[in-house]
Amino acid sequence: MKNPPKKCLAAGMKRTPQRLAVLAYLDGNTSHPSAEEVYRALSKKNPTLSFATVYNTLNALTKAGTVSELTIDAERKRFDPNTVPHHHCICTRCKKIIDIMKDITVDLPADSAKGFSVAGSHVEFYGHCSRCANKRRPQ
């Protein structure tokens, strides 16, 4: 997310210190944070930042296409500043999400498509991250 101020303008938002703080936090962030996590991370250094501002900023960035909204966590929406098409590995224990930047082709069989025109796909892999897998192994 290079040049956060331009991202604000692209999303039709004024460049306020609070919004710029959200954009700076997202810049290069690969943790796929929820709105709550962004708010918690920024609220101590930005006492004028409200949760509503974080949430509205993330939604505006999503609508502008500069952030992707992920619905891979049943408990909360997560946000990904990497809008390049990619896939994810998701730890079912700690909920860590890892980007998979390799192309994975999934073909929908024509007899299953029933005339549906596929525009894209997203593959999710579920399991345990290395940290959680190591916790499960007896020492």
pLDDT digits (tens, 9 = 90+) for 103-130: 888 888 878 878 888 887 889 999 999 9
CATH label of the domain that carries residue 100 = 3.30.1490.190
Judged by DSSP in three states, 88 sits in strand
- Is pLDDT above 70 for 101? yes
End-of-domain residue from the set 65, 80, 95: 80
Cα 65 to the center of its chain, rounded Å: 12
Residues 69 and 97 in one domain: no
Token pair belonging to 38: 């962004």
Average pLDDT over residues 73-90: 89
* Residue 2 pLDDT class (50, 70, 90 cuts): low
Residues 57 and 119 in one domain: no
**What was the pLDDT predicted at 43?**
93
Q: What is the pLDDT of residues 36-69, one digit of tens each?
A: 999 999 999 998 899 999 999 999 889 888 899 9
End-of-domain residue from the set 52, 80, 108: 80
- Is pLDDT above 60 for 3? no
Residues 101 and 42 in one domain: no
Domain that holds residue 75: 4-80
Residues 60 and 97 in one domain: no
Q: 65: burial class by Cβ within 10 Å (0-12, 13-18, 19+)?
A: exposed
**What was the pLDDT predicted at 137?**
59
Considering the entire predicted model, what is its pTM?
Answer: 0.78
**What was the pLDDT predicted at 108?**
81
